[in-house]
Structures are given as structure tokens and as C-alpha cells.
Amino acid sequence: MQKYAGIGEKKTMIEIRFHGRGGQGAVTSAELFALAAIEEEKYAQGFPSFGPERRGAPVVAFARVDDKPIRLRSKIYQPDVAVVLDPSLLKILDPSQGLKPEGLLIINTNRSAEQIRSQFGYRVRLATVDADRIAREELGLPITNTTMLGALIKGSGVVQLESFLPALRARFGRGAERNENALRRAFQETILSD
């Protein structure tokens, strides 16, 4: 798979920050991403930022992937990619803060990249996908974690889509097929914009 321009071209370690709300699966997204990388025999970490989280409160989770062992254990302050699971967060935080100049901001939204840029002034590369709609249609619930992973796969090129299947089956059991469908649809429907 071709990597999105700028992501992972100059170094091997890729750092990702996930922004969501408690109960939406940001922590699960980070863990699944790490497991998919491990499936490809890469080194990976997936971990949350612990605090007074509760259902609906803003949550941050992180993932790192590298071709060699990762010794770093800190939060990620300058990610290569930032993923926003809940578009309402855009009104209360700036997910592009600290994003590397060649980085990518992936947003769950039904709006175009141009509309998002106009409203929030982002000057970074964007990827957009209507993950809420896809999740409702495929899962019956607006839980966007696996849907946004499809967008992350397309935007970053760090791991292959097929590498997620063992982790999805282990995590979701009988619901794995619906989550796989959501992941695949988001991969297809994500729009990348410079």
C-alpha cells in the first residue's frame, strides 16, 4: 500500500494520538492499531491517558509503531497523525496542536475538508470520513472506533487492512464481521486532502 505523502517517509516510528469521548472506543482504537502492527511483526504500543474520564468526557489515547523496539513510554505530544472520533470535540480542543508539519489530521465529520478548514483554520493535511453514518449503518450504533481505524489505515499506510482482522475477531467475537464491514467502508469512503 502506498503511504500518504509525508507519513513515515523519513523515520520508522509513527506516533498517533486519538481524541474521543468516554465510551466511544478511543482506547480500543489505540489497542487494536497496536495489535494490527504486531500482527505485521512490527513493534507497537497502544495506551490511554488516564485521568478523571467518564462516559462522554474527552479522552485521549495513543499508539506508536516502529520497526525496532520502542523504549519511549511517555504520552505523545507531537504526533504524526491525530484522529478525532467525535466532531463535537473540535469546538473545545485543537486536535492539530503539536501535530508535526507533515502530519495528518483525520476527522469524523459529514463536512468537507474545505468546510472544516474554513471553520477551524487548520493548516495541516486532512482526511475526512462520515464515521457516524457508517457506524450506524454497519453496527447499528454511532460507536466509531473501528470505523475511524479504516480512515487511519487509508491515511497513514502504516498497517494493512487485513492485519486488523485477527484483532477484530478476538475483541468483538460475533460482532467482528460488522466491525470489519465498518472498517472496510471507512477505508473506501475516506477523503484525503492536502
Instruction: Report in angstroms the alpha-carbon separations of 43 from 108, 131, 157.
Output: 27, 28, 16
Instruction: Report in angstroms the alpha-carbon separations of 147 from 8, 15, 100, 108, 116.
Output: 22, 19, 24, 9, 20
Minimum mean pLDDT range among 41-50, 53-62, 97-106: 53-62
On the question of pLDDT at 52 being above 80, the answer is no
With cut-offs at 50, 70 and 90, classify the pLDDT of residue 161. very high
Q: Which residues contact 54 (CB under 8 A, 6 or more apart)?
A: 22
With cut-offs at 50, 70 and 90, classify the pLDDT of residue 1. very low
With cut-offs at 50, 70 and 90, classify the pLDDT of residue 73. confident
The domain spans of the chain are 14-193
Residue-level pLDDT at 49? 83
With cut-offs at 50, 70 and 90, classify the pLDDT of residue 149. very high
Q: Which architecture characterizes domain 14-193 according to CATH? A: 3-Layer(aba) Sandwich (3.40)
Instruction: Report in angstroms the alpha-carbon separations of 136 from 44, 46, 78, 147, 161.
Output: 30, 26, 32, 10, 21
Residue-level pLDDT at 69? 95
Residue-level pLDDT at 144? 93
> Whole-prediction pTM value?
0.91
Residue-level pLDDT at 9? 52
With cut-offs at 50, 70 and 90, classify the pLDDT of residue 50. low
Mean pLDDT of 131-157: 95
3-state secondary structure of 117: helix
Mean pLDDT of 98-126: 95
